[in-house]
Amino acid sequence: MLRRSCLALALAASLSLSSCYTMTHQVGTGGGGGPTTEERQWWALWGLVPINSVDSHQLAGNRQNYTVITQFTPLDVLISFFTQFVTVYVQTIKVEG
């Protein structure tokens, strides 16, 4: 009985928590150590409907070469843990110049 309870708890925890990931895209020759700008993208219905719009071109300003990093950070995991009950998730979008 205890073994089944532990297994059920582990399964519930693994389904409710996402892992961290990072996607990187280079524009031009990529970022050269310039200033970094970041914003959070909010999603509803488990990531199907965007709540706000984050435009990486606006974050980059007039730079020609930059790197866009889209990541699900540990802070995003923590925020999403509390907001997942209303199907809202968050991810961080960072532009490095």
Q: Domain for residue 60, yes or no?
A: yes
* Res 32: pLDDT: 77
Q: Domain for residue 36, yes or no?
A: yes
Q: Domain for residue 5, yes or no?
A: no
* Res 19: pLDDT: 61
> What is the pairing mode between strands 66-72 and 49-50?
unpaired
* Res 22: pLDDT: 85
Task: List the domain range (segments joined by +) for residue 59.
Answer: 20-96
Tens-place pLDDT, residues 38-94: 999 999 998 889 999 999 889 888 888 999 999 988 888 888 888 888 889 899 999
Other CB atoms within 10 Å distance of the CB of residue 64: 9
Tens-place pLDDT, residues 2-43: 888 888 877 766 666 556 678 898 988 887 778 889 999 999
Residues in the chain: 97
How many angstroms separate the CA atoms of 44 and 88, rounded?
4
Write phi, then psi, for 75 (nearest 5 degrees): -65, -40
- From the list 50, 62, 64, 45, the residue with the least C-alpha distance to 93 is 50
Q: Domain for residue 7, yes or no?
A: no
Q: Domain for residue 1, yes or no?
A: no
